[in-house]
Amino acid sequence: MNFLDELNEIQREAVVNFEGPTLIVAGPGSGKTRVLTYRIAYLLQQGASPFSVLSLTFTNKAAEEMRHRIEKIAGTNARSLFMGTFHSVFARILRVEAPRLGYPSNFTIYDTEDSRSLIKSIIKEKNLDDKIYKPNQIQYRISSAKNALILPDDYLLDAELTEEDRTAKKPETGAIYKAYCERCFKSGAMDFDDLLLKTHEILNTFPEVLYKYQHKFKYVLIDEFQDTNPLQYSIVKRIADAFQNITVVGDDAQSIYAFRGATIDNILNFEKDFPDLKVFKLEQNYRSTEQIVKAANKLIAHNKNQIKKEIWTSNGSGENIKIVRSPSDKEEGKFVADSILETKMRNRLMNSDFAILYRTNAQSRVFEESLRRVNIPYKIYGGMSFYQRKEIKDLLAYLKLAINHYDEEALKRVINYPARGIGQTSIDKIITTAINEGKRAWDILETIDFHDFPSRTKNSIDEFVSMVKSFAVLAKEKNAYEVTIHAAKITTLLSELHNDKTVEGLSRYENIQELLNGIKEFVEEDVVGEGEDEALLSDKSLGSYLQNITLLTGDEKDKDNIDTVKLMTIHSAKGLEFPVVFIVGMEENLFPAGQSIYSLEDLEEERRLFYVAVTRAERKLFLSYASTRYKFGSLQYCEPSRFLKEIPEEILSILGDLKREQSKQMLNKLSTTIKVPTPSPKPLTGIENFVPDDVSNLQTGMDVIHEKFGEGKVIAMDGQAANRVATIFFEGFGQKKIMLKFAKLKILKHS
């Protein structure tokens, strides 16, 4: 069969009309990759030389998959295509042209770690404080400058940039940038940003080189064009100027990488640079149901800056989108885990059919814990489990050391983090001395005055030992949260991460805050015991918390090869699809993010991010939010996200109390609405002849009587086997958590 027969009408038009500037606006699930692949294959079939085709992607995986597909249609010719990522293709060009700029043709490419190492060296050589001039922050600043086409000399002359550096108490940033570039040049090395910057420089400095590549690449094709930055677009625009056979494929509604330097302006203003532009809109969605597609259309219509299109599907109506309100973020996690269990059984689905999408990495914690409790295997996509993240392990190591000074792994992890002048040589010497003397490493630290170490190192070790001992004293007097927040501040871990304003630094700080939120939740959780067990269950000490969290995380296994639920940020989900999707944390100041609501451009990017999340779903979509959430250690009330209001009511099923958004009339129509009553004081009458029942089979929804709290309703069940905990609402007393093995309850039988 002719491969063109596999395409719908508009897809076919986009493939066969390959001359001149072309914009292919590809909605979600519209067959974008197939169209781009077939367009290149058709080009080759029509006699174009594979050496004349330049095809740029954003991942090596995408490039290889496309090349493989093209080869199946057009044969081995496809192997000669100039196809790859921007960086890999421009590196090939620079291998030939770099000597024009004084670089060797076999120049070295520095990866992120190489670049950071060089920056560290320069900071040290300039006798600058690396606690102020943090290498990763300087690296981020240099990268941003390069991608904005700001060279070192221009940077030093830019009053705004130098004033920003002075305000940040880093006035030598420009000098470091200049020294870094000079050292790279002397070493015959380029970093990843240079692969773009130097290509741009050569094309603009040497007209004969520009002419050469303009006439070599008669056809230029770019995938995910909405994700390009100004530097990338400037290069390809120059190359395509001669023949103007430039094809860009993308979706402005899925432009979500501004924080990486991408600009939506490239796709929105493409027609200004190429007035003879042909536009093909791929609007048929092959992925999702009508309800999901309708929600996405209505949502994105609120954005002012966009290319108008109307996505449609013939996949059938499908189920309404479900909006869920939970009393707290912990209950939100429980709802999602329970819903996955129920939906799996009812629809015979696999774990891999489910995805939980969130705005920030830190949100994964409650969902990881909830999934573990019901034994659902999961995998963090594009990241790592919450408790395996470096910053989390660092703070937990301090806490473990406070409880157990002899924990050598915890000791080695934090004895010099944040840096306090105890180098690796000293650490190795401490361990070796302990082994030789048959002692523990902590014993050596406590008696450091009697060992052969430099006085400066001894002082640093003395301060470290005193600090850890002070944590131990505090741990005997205060609860887990009070000890942890104190340790986070005194060790300077909190300020270290707070001062790192890079994207990664902000994420690490959010993770630490989420750990603190979890500990605060643990401390304030009201779990009821009986008699002598009351003290055991109400133990909120640091030791109790660490034992609890160790048991929770101790069953980590390699989940790469088993059927798992996927957890990921929405940014990581782009390009993926799942039968069932939960978008969680749909709250103001979380999604949209708090810093985005004061700028139209930022708010529209947040809406595009939500659009991407919605369009990952094939059959079922849940939108979830919590009424309360711990933030910075205190319980805060949350407003539902404004984005929820932008989805038509007629395609929603509401599973929670959305009084702020919905009328009472609509709430009354929805039998599935759950309302958790507000406690109101009520005197308790005595219960005579109280005899507790066997509650091993207690279930959500049952009515019970407690000897102290009176009548109540079971609103949630957590845990497994002997550790099951019931959350029960008692009128006049509110919610109480009661561990069943200690519970004294009578189950009410209804006639």
Query: Of 22, 32, 141, 369, which residue is the catalytic one?
Result: 32
Burial class, 90, CB count within 10 angstroms (exposed 0-12 / middle 13-18 / buried 19+): buried
* Residue 425: active-site member: no
| Least confidently predicted of 90-94, 130-134, 448-452 | 448-452
pTM: 0.74
Tokens of 35: 């169209």
Q: Given CA atoms 389, 569, 114, 133 in this order, what sign does their dihedral have?
A: negative
CA dist., res. 640 & res. 660, Å (int): 8
Inform me whether the pLDDT recorded for 10 exceeds 90.
yes
* Residue 237: active-site member: no
Query: Of 193, 194, 224, 500, which residue is the catalytic one?
Result: 224
Query: Of 165, 191, 223, 391, which residue is the catalytic one?
Result: 223
Inform me whether the pLDDT recorded for 749 exceeds 80.
no
Query: Of 254, 313, 360, 662, which residue is the catalytic one?
Result: 254
SS3 content of the chain, % helix, strand, coil (to 5): 50, 15, 35
Three-class HEC string of 130-164? CCCCCHHHHHHHHHHHHHCCCCHHHHHHCHHHHHH
What's the confidence (pLDDT) of residue 196?
A: 94
Inform me whether the pLDDT recorded for 412 exceeds 90.
no
Q: How far is CA 39 from CA 32, 207, 241, 464, in A?
A: 11, 30, 20, 64
Give the pLDDT confidence of 69-118 residue by residue, as tens digits: 898 888 888 888 888 889 889 988 998 999 999 998 888 888 888 888 89
* Residue 502: active-site member: no
* Residue 224: active-site member: yes
The model's confidence at residue 208, banded by pLDDT at 50, 70 and 90, is: very high
The model's confidence at residue 528, banded by pLDDT at 50, 70 and 90, is: low
Mean pLDDT, the chain, whole residue set:
86
Tokens of 132: 């102020």
**Alpha helices (H) in 574-618, listed in sequence order:** 600-614
Q: How far is CA 60 from CA 88, 488, 594, in A?
A: 9, 40, 34
Please report, rounded to a whole number, the percentage of residues in the chain having pLDDT higher than 70. Answer: 90
Give the pLDDT confidence of 579-600 residue by residue, as tens digits: 999 999 999 999 998 888 888 9
- The DSSP line for 364-392 is HHHHHHHHHHTT--EEETTS--GGGSHHH
Residues in the chain: 751
**Residue 360 dihedral angles phi and psi, to the nearest 5°:** -130, 150
| Least confidently predicted of 31-45, 70-84, 174-188, 289-303 | 70-84
Inform me whether the pLDDT recorded for 220 exceeds 70.
yes
Inform me whether the pLDDT recorded for 690 exceeds 90.
no
Query: Which span out of 301-305, 382-386, 520-524, 592-596 was modeled with the highest average pLDDT?
Result: 301-305
* Residue 254: active-site member: yes
What's the confidence (pLDDT) of residue 495?
A: 86
Q: Are 740 and 695 in contact (CB under 8 A)?
A: yes
CA dist., res. 142 & res. 461, Å (int): 36
**Interacting residues of 117 by C-beta distance below 8 A, sequence separation 6+:** none
Query: Of 13, 33, 446, 510, which residue is the catalytic one?
Result: 33
Query: Of 34, 141, 508, 616, which residue is the catalytic one?
Result: 616
